[in-house]
Structure 1
Amino acid sequence: MSRIENQFTVQFWGVRGSIPSPGPHTVRYGGNTPCVEMQVGDKRLIFDGGTGLHVLGQSLLRQMPLEAHLLFTHSHWDHMQGFPFFVPGFVRGNNFHIYGAIAPDGSTIEQRLNDQMLHPNFPVPLQIMQANLHFHDVKPGQPIHIHDITIETASLNHPGEAVGYRVNWRGGAAVYITDTEHFPDRLDENVLWLSRNADILIYDCTYTDEEYYSPKSPKIGWGHSTWQEAVKIAKAANVKTLVIFHHDPAHNDDFLDAVGEEAAQQFPGAIMARERMVLQVSTSVPLSESFPVR
């Protein structure tokens, strides 16, 4: 078996939430909005299309022709604003499978990506893209099967709704959970289920508890969680590595350094998401499925 056929890697191309935040104070962690690439055997999975997708696209130009699966959590701008600038999408011969849940207003991911690229918001329409674009509606709670990869899905607690994803392959699991807000009196059952025994959990840690519960400017109801809640989830779900993700645009490198140190004290497997960071998921060939099917 070749090396690429047996690898499961996770690479971060955009780790910032809400709005791109370039500048001298975000150099170490990065200022691009969410985009995470998973190389699972010979399949490429891309989660969200924030401005990090543009950077990923530039790196892929030397690998064409391309086939990839692009899975959106939701269609808030910070998670899709890089799609119109994804250069491989404009190249004939490339193939992209695009997944997203139907929004509360009934619109599909295709409709929302199309609307984003209409006048007066953008100069050229979606139809200008020359790559083959195949759109798929995600139904939260139902799995997605891509060859021998199983991607489990669940609804998240976010205004306008969002979807969390768990990628299972050869006994390894990586989980992508953003954007979501924790509940005040219990751990989110959907988040716990997706996170169970995961090798890697990427979780929305936009705020600290102090910011979330601030008496002057609370963030309750804004649709995001805290790193302290992430630690609770990681411990309860027996996660190996917790990746603190979706950094607030106001959090500079020094602030994130401090968060990382404090989080690691509470959960030794906690690390901070950085652009270009690559993580390896350990794999094996399981004899049987050890987790209950939902």
Structure 2
Amino acid sequence: MPMTMSVHFWGVRGSISCPGPNTLRYGGNTSCVEICCGDHHLVFDAGSGLRILGNAMDREDRIADIDLFLSHCHIDHLIGLPFFVPVFEKGSRLRLWAGNLKPAGGVRQTVRKLMSYPLFPIEIEMAQGKIEYTDFEPGESLKPRPGVVVHTAPLKHPGGATGYRVEYGGRAVAYITDTELNDDVIDPGVLALAKDAALLIVDSTYTNAELPDHVGWGHASWQQTVKLANAAGAEKLCLFHHDPEHDDAEMDRIAAAADQARPGTIVAKEGLSIEI
């Protein structure tokens, strides 16, 4: 198996999908990022972008064999699961991983709650594919596939969330979304996830000017993510989980300012692929 690593963005927004003429270039689907480690497919979050991934797999007649890691189960990060075509196809295999959910009955019970009356017409038991559920405690290190190590850490978000670091073939990609970042002291767990990462994908919902009106909402500004990337020595920073109120014109302004603050900074767009 080739020791290659790549990242594909299927959904880059936070809070709620925002389709429309003003979000065409950056995309309006919520969080879903695919990280390919050789032939192993790891997906992070099941936002509405997961539907787009499933449709692409269906067109390619690709049988799903996926590890799906949830940062948390707020609706914008889970809403794509009931519309993920491979779940309903025989022969597919989906392993769901989540932290923070044991007090709520675990990830299995959370999915059943989403796909049940009166919220949804089809229950998860209707799925034809094989689904496995794994609950873990943030801070654990996981080994979902041969040669793949996924480190985890708790994040500062209402109800809790989990950040991830994927290591494969001597490279690392960090996926840290839905968290507040402290301007003065960076959380050691977050810093460890981001340390020397080839690509740091991180929540950049707001600007510094918007932060005071969103204290306690569990999100960061793009300026704070620049500080994190610099402190961690990350090679590339990727801004992610864009505010649905930020249209393409605003995202262009943020992209220009972020590139000036940290040259080479990437702003996630729906459909963007990055080779690591």
Is the shorter-chain TM-score for this pair beyond 0.5, marking a shared fold?
Answer: yes
> What SS does the corresponding residue of 1:134 show, helix, strand or coil?
strand
Match in the other structure for 1:284: none
- Measure, in 1, the Cα distance between the counterparts of 2:234 and 2:68: 25
Q: What displacement does 1:106 show?
A: 3.5
1:245 aligned partner: 240
CA distance in structure 2 between the aligned counterparts of 1:6 and 1:42, rounded to whole angstroms: 9
Deviations along 1:78-133, whole A, 9 cap, x unmatched?
Answer: 00000000011000110111100142734211111110011110001010111000
Q: Which of residues 129, 132, 142 is equivalent to 1:131?
A: 129
Residue 49 of structure 1, CA deviation? 0.2
What amino acid does structure 2 have at the position aligned with 1:35? Answer: C
Q: Secondary structure at the match of 2:43?
A: strand
Secondary structure in structure 2 of the residue aligned to 1:25: helix
Q: Matches of 2:260 and 2:195 in 1, distance apart? A: 22
Retained in 2: the 8 A contact 1:103–1:160? Answer: no
The match for 2:73 among 72, 75, 86 is: 75
Report the CA distance between 1:7 and its aligned residue: 1.8
Deviation at 1:142, TM superposition (A): 1.1
Indicate the SS of the match to 1:210.
coil
Question: What corresponds to 2:140 in structure 1?
Answer: 142
CA contact (8 A) 1:64 1:94 kept: no
Question: Could you tell me which of 57, 60, 64 is aligned with 1:60?
Answer: 57
> Matched residues, percent identical?
42
How do 1:276-291 and structure 2 match up within 5 A? 276-281=271-276
CA-CA distance at 1:236 after TM superposition:
0.4
RMSD (CA atoms): 1.1
Aligned 8 A contact 1:205 1:225 in 2:
yes
**Aligned partners of 2:100 and 2:160 also within 8 Å:** no
* 1:110-129 to 2 correspondences below 5 Å: 110-129=108-127
Query: 2:23 is aligned with what amino acid?
Result: T
- What TM-score do the two structures reach when normalised by structure 2? 0.97
1:102/1:109 contact within 8 Å kept: no
Q: Report the AA paired with residue 34 of structure 2.
A: E
Does residue 43 of the first structure (1) align with residue 43 of the second (2)?
A: no
In the other structure, the counterpart of 1:261 is: 256
Tell me the number of residue pairs that the alignment of Structure 1 and Structure 2 aligns: 274
Unaligned stretches of 5+ in structure 1?
A: 282-294
Per-residue deviation, residues 3-48 of structure 1 (Å, max 9, x unmatched): xx23200000000000000000000000000000011111000000
